[in-house]
Structure 1
Amino acid sequence: MPLPQYPIQVLLTGATGFVGGAALASFVEREDYKAGKVKITCVVRGAQRAKVIREKYGVEVLEADLDAVEKIQEAASKTDVILHTANADHPPSTRAMLAGLKARFEKTGIQGIFIHSSGTGALTDNAKGEFADPKMSVLPTASLEQVPLSVSSFQDRDCADIRAIPTTYAHRESDDAIMNASIEGYVRAHIVMPPLIYGRGRGPYSRTSVQIPALIRAALKLKQSIYLGKGLPMWNGVHVQDLVNLYFVLLDDALSGSPKAKTGLDCFYFCATDEYQWLELATELGKRLHAKGAIPTPEPRTLKPEEVDGALGAWSDFAYGSNSRSVSGKAFDLGWTPLHPTGTNGLFESIDAEYEAVLEEGQDEKPKVHEDEMKRAVGA
């Protein structure tokens, strides 16, 4: 199958967001971009933001939001590579991108490369802070008594368990469409499923993620670090730059002429480097904020039911009280080397920098969530 010709045409979504901004900042530092072998077009919503992205990075900009599906399909039909970081739960734009890549394949015979940023929200259960389960049930609405215990986590060397998660659950509709396009053959797809993402972003706008900043703001508001229920569920984390570096590992592999990264039915990639329980994270956050004099006690406490919405916002059970545990396999097989492993400069060590970011952004900012994503996650 023929490879794209230079310059490689890249369509990037989410450039004004936390992950996409970090990806764009890293992309323009690459030697292939500096040598003119890559041309980047960013999908950006709003004239002012489009102007900033264009002037700061010198890239092309398509001024559109994800609902502008005709514009997005047309842009995708002229694209070699799509790096989609904007929203894992917007199936119309995903289908538009795939339609554009399919039209291009039928015209040129060149297989498009689609790297999609999904998430391990697709693995979450309904624990509501009450229990730890190394691997959640694939039935998100199961009661505690119905959730089977397992001795293993989700893993990605065999993706059957991931594919078995209903397509009505978080991220799964877009993921499934991309996987099926890859099976059909006009797209070489890689669906990256990050867990909690931490660290400081590098883009011009959103430079913090969702969960840790929200927990910090809640602690400052309530004068104590908090958790949901018993705080027992388990999650993973990954630094934003390690996530971005995995995108490039997959991109370089796809463009190598002899790719090794799996696609099709096994196109899913985990990238967890940290593991924690919510109570453990709340305890560490309490110690660090107390040491700074930001809260009067280092001890965390559980949230009262009437405090939950005001402290963490809607959909808190999904984002802060569930189990979502994954084991990275294929990424390491390809040579991905995270720079922020647990125990050195990993998740807990990021709390101090994220506290400073919260102060910069404002303590009263609301948690960053996609309402459509959260509704899909709980089947609303």
Structure 2
Amino acid sequence: MAGKKILLTGATGYIGGTVLSTLLNSEAESITGAAISVLVRGEHQAGVLKDKGLTTIDFKGFGDDDALREAASEHDVVINTASGFEDGFAASLIRGLAERKNALGVDVHYIHTSGTTNYANSPTLNLYPGYNADLVSDKATAQVVSTLRHLNEQTPYAQRTTDLAVLSVGKETGVRTHIITMPMLFGFGTGFFRKLTGQLPILMGEALREKQMWIVGDGTGVKQHVHIEDGAAVYELVLRRVFEGLEVPSGEEGVIFVENGEHRWNEAGEAIAEVGRRLGVLDTEQVRRLSLEEAGKALGIEDINYVEAAYAST
């Protein structure tokens, strides 16, 4: 639809870059007719994106409230892939969209990127007594939101706190919010900058350095996964339906889970070890088991709660 304006944050990242390239290559007329702006920091990155025909908007950081609100107020849709761990950042973008809604009387939408560690269990630290990471379905919206609130009351987690802020501020301002909840990602990104995700590539790098693969804990945790291009296609689908006036769940009904398979940590570790040994870059197919503290030290992560959620949970 001609005249629609999209603001994308995180365009230089793995998810955001792939979402951007997906939108730029979209065949949907409602998307090809829209103008895309990107929020960036750094002259080099801005220059590359300008060369691609994009409008770049400079900002100083996640706490740059005035600049964020102003940028969002000039767009119909904001897609935030920059960070799911900054509740103030998300709130500023939503409030900026609300200014546009109030000034022009138009519908505005905020598409947020989150992750499944929001619903992870705590097998070692036992941060959520009695919670076993039972199946949570985005078709059961009351269950999704109550789970977010219940877990965060027991142990606050920044990404979960941000999801709850998105729901709260969206409801308060009348901005339609959609939270796309990603599991573990894999595959090469198609953006202009970062091509690799974290987690498994990070562990592969550690394995190459030490000549042996390691995982955190006993490896029985189950992780769902999706290829990055399939994940990016969900953003395109949501955006197309928004622009074409089709129904898209929003608010507490708009928490969308993305996945197309699952694996256990030990399965991933053993597969990497086997391939690494076969290629001659690892000395052994044996997989070491590290404690949370050992893994945190190796990864340079002080937050042991996050190490458990990201590298050992279900």
Both structures adopt the same fold (TM-score exceeding 0.5)? yes
2:130 is the counterpart of 1:147: yes
CA–CA separation in structure 2 for the residues paired with 1:161 and 1:278:
26
Task: Decide which of 9, 26, 32 is 1:30's aligned counterpart.
Answer: 26
Contact 1:114 1:190 in 2 (8 A): yes
Query: For this pair of structures, how many residues does the alignment match?
Result: 303
- Compute the displacement of 1:195 (Å): 0.8
Higher helix share: 2
After TM superposition, where is structure 1 displaced by more than 6 Å over at least 4 residues in a row? Answer: none
- Compute the displacement of 1:227 (Å): 1.4
CA–CA separation in structure 2 for the residues paired with 1:31 and 1:272:
23
Q: Structure 2 length as normaliser, TM-score?
A: 0.89
Distance 1:253 1:33, change over 3 A: closer
CA–CA separation in structure 1 for the residues paired with 2:229 and 2:293:
37
CA–CA separation in structure 1 for the residues paired with 2:245 and 2:291:
56
Q: Aligned residue for 1:58?
A: 53
CA–CA separation in structure 1 for the residues paired with 2:161 and 2:294:
32
Q: Aligned residue for 1:8?
A: 4
CA–CA separation in structure 2 for the residues paired with 1:291 and 1:278:
20
CA–CA separation in structure 2 for the residues paired with 1:273 and 1:87:
23
Range with greater deviation from structure 2 (168-177 or 224-233): 168-177
Distance 1:181 1:34, change over 3 A: closer
Q: Deviations over 1:281-330 (max 9, x none)?
A: 1111111111111102222121267742343331422211112xxxxxxx
Contact 1:27 1:33 in 2 (8 A): no
2:152 is the counterpart of 1:203: no
Task: Decide which of 320, 337, 340 is 2:311's aligned counterpart.
Answer: 320
Contact 1:114 1:187 in 2 (8 A): yes
Distance 1:205 1:319, change over 3 A: same
Amino acid at match of 2:34: V
Contact 2:115 2:183 in 1 (8 A): yes
SS at match of 1:52: helix
CA–CA separation in structure 2 for the residues paired with 1:192 and 1:283:
30
Q: Aligned residue for 1:297?
A: 284
CA–CA separation in structure 2 for the residues paired with 1:38 and 1:183:
26
Q: Aligned residue for 1:189?
A: 177
Range with greater deviation from structure 2 (301-310 or 244-253): 301-310
Amino acid at match of 1:264: G
Q: Aligned residue for 2:139?
A: 157
- Compute the displacement of 1:58 (Å): 0.8
Amino acid at match of 2:227: H
Unaligned runs of at least 5 residues, structure 1: 131-139, 324-380
Q: Deviations over 1:135-163 (max 9, x none)?
A: xxxxx713xxx33447x411110122321
Matches within 5 A, 1:39-188: 39-55=35-51, 57-64=52-59, 65-128=61-124, 141-142=127-128, 146-149=129-132, 152-164=134-146, 165-166=148-149, 167=152, 168-184=156-172, 186-188=174-176
CA–CA separation in structure 2 for the residues paired with 1:157 and 1:83:
23
Distance 1:306 1:69, change over 3 A: closer
Contact 1:76 1:82 in 2 (8 A): yes
Range with greater deviation from structure 2 (179-188 or 86-95): 179-188
Distance 1:89 1:304, change over 3 A: closer
